[in-house]
Amino acid sequence: MHSEPESELAPLVRNLSHRDHQERLNAALTLAECGPAAASALPALVRALADAHQVVRQGVAQALLRIDPHWATNPRTLEAVPALIDALADRVTTVAQVASAILERIGAPAVSAMLEALRDEKRDLRQVQIARTLGRIRPRGEAVPAALARLISSPHPHVSQAAAEALGELGPTAQQADVALVGGLADWSDGVRLACAQALGRIQPHLEVAVPALLRVLPDRVEAVREAAVASLVQLGPEAAAPLVEALSDQIRAEGFVGQLRRWAEFLTQIGTIPERFGDDPRQMLNNIVWHEELIMEDWSHLLRRSVLIVLGRLGPAVASVAVPALVHVLNDDRRLRQSAATTLGLLGSGASAAVPALVDLLCDEQEGVRQAVAEALDLIDPNWPTAPCTSTLIPTLVEQLKSPLEGARQAARAALVRIGPIAIPILLEALRDPDRQVRQAAAEILGAIGPAARSAIPALQEAISDSHSWVREAARLALQKVETPEGPLL
């Protein structure tokens, strides 16, 4: 099919950039009528796809389809790439977004031009859009990850953040950027740290580089950054368990916030990635990254250890053999983290059976949250935990807890004694004669809840029907009905 003479198309091409959007639309529609004969107008039409007016964009899209349905792969289209790259920095957001979408559709052929434009640090807004576009194109090869990795240390935080997000979009093909992303975890910008933490979980980084770095941001002052670090460590899998368990140790806990920041500075120096705006002096960098002043007061190590527990719990049974000893140590050593440690042990399932004795001991903990977490963990680890040998030694303590002024503590003790069942009957019989009315009443109620398995308690319960307190007498009467009748109490 013949092409329209250049002289006839030239006015229409010029009108595609006319100041009046109606003229631009008319030019596009006229070119559409020309069909494939207007092939030489493809570059101008592709540029016009980023027009600020939607109606013009629609007319241009119609023209492109009429001229060449495969316009994105037409060699002529590449002539428009430089203009599209410039449009990425347009102040009109829609123009920049459309230009990015067009470049994404053109794909790999536009990558080399975008990489060249990415070097211009004076046009930082364009760098941001180029990085995002490259992340969506996901080109093969090492050139794009290397270029984006260099931007992590950009003097412009929004550029660093966009580069980190793009590297995350590239996935494992950007593995080589792990060192640069680790450097970004020390950035003063919350957005940069967040993007780097998220990306590290997606690029399959080298564990020896990524795990220590992610551990260092687990106590970040920004919750979103902490959550991103947790999620990335979980994505790295069970291989990350050993360093996590080490992070629960007394040595790291005692080192405190300032010591950890110094180790962080040394770590970045060792792997050779210090962001430009921090300078070459690690001490200067250290001063710049102490964004955690208020965290010193909150106890940095507590936040770190709590986050580690969350990661271990999400990693699940696969890390039980490595994690259980350290978690038991936390149960016994850190009162503030007992609830979290118990929850984590429950998530490890039957692989945490070695922790049952330590958990059983905490059924009488003074904190209601701890008692509840322990009970749930025991059921998840071993539904038959009440028959464990360690349980019998706890029964006197549970009976004593029936005297607690706290209703929650008394209820927890009742529930545990019911679960323990027949093993607890001898001590419960003694409790029926306790001077404390509350203990006698609770003992009768527990025996009733145990049911027919507590038939050996019938004589003692019959005796309790004559108790001096009416509440105890009523509890004993109801208990006898439950113990004597398998179907339940008689009404």
Contact 345, 327 (CB under 8 A): yes
pLDDT of residue 351 exceeding 70, the answer is: yes
Three-class DSSP category at 137: helix
| Contacts with 159 (C-beta within 8 Å, 6 or more apart), sequence order | 124, 127, 128, 131, 151
**How many helices (DSSP H) and strands (DSSP E) are in the chain?**
29, 0
Residue 74's pLDDT is 87
**DSSP letters for 302-360:** HHHHHHHHHHHHHHGGGGHHHHHHHHHHHHHH-GGGHHHHHHHHHHHGGGGGGGHHHHH
Q: What is the mean pLDDT of residues 344-348?
A: 93
> How many Å is the Cα radius of gyration of the chain?
35
Q: Of 123-132, 218-227, 416-425, which one has max mean pLDDT?
A: 123-132
pLDDT per residue over 175-185, tens digit each? 999 999 999 99
pLDDT per residue over 27-56, tens digit each? 888 888 888 888 888 888 888 888 888 898
Listed range (74-83, 96-105, 327-336) with the worst mean pLDDT: 327-336
pTM: 0.72
How many alpha carbons fall within 13 Å on the CB side of residue 60? 28
| CA of residue 336 relative to chain centroid, distance | 22
pLDDT of residue 335 exceeding 70, the answer is: yes
Provide the residue type at 174 as one letter. Answer: A
pLDDT of residue 297 exceeding 50, the answer is: no
pLDDT of residue 332 exceeding 50, the answer is: yes
Write out the two tokens for 244.
Answer: 């996590």
Measured distance CA(115)–CA(243) in Å, rounded: 37
Q: What is the mean pLDDT of residues 72-94?
A: 87
User: CA 359 → CA 147, 322, 369, 379, distances in Å?
Assistant: 52, 18, 13, 11
Residue 154's pLDDT is 92
Report the 10 Å Cβ neighbour count for 62. Answer: 14
Residue 268's pLDDT is 57
Using CA atoms in the order 119, 125, 126, 127, what is the torsion angle rounded to 10 degrees? Answer: 40
The H-or-E segment that residue 289 falls in is helix 282-289
Measured distance CA(404)–CA(197) in Å, rounded: 46
Sign, CA torsion 188/191/194/199: negative
Q: What is the mean pLDDT of residues 432-460?
A: 90
pLDDT per residue over 213-241, tens digit each? 998 888 888 889 999 999 999 999 998 88
Higher pLDDT pick, 139 / 489? 139
φ, ψ dihedrals at 218, nearest 5°? -60, -35
Report the 10 Å Cβ neighbour count for 246. Answer: 16
Listed range (162-176, 354-368, 370-384) with the worst mean pLDDT: 354-368
pLDDT of residue 273 exceeding 60, the answer is: no
Measured distance CA(283)–CA(425) in Å, rounded: 66
Contact 444, 451 (CB under 8 A): no
Residue 190 — pLDDT band, cuts 50, 70, 90? Answer: very high
Residue 266's pLDDT is 60
Write out the two tokens for 288.
Answer: 């710049």
DSSP letter, residue 4: P
Domains of the chain: 1-140 (1.25.10), 394-491 (1.25.10.10)
Provide the residue type at 285 as one letter. Answer: M
Report the 10 Å Cβ neighbour count for 170. Answer: 23
Share of the chain above pLDDT 90, in %: 30
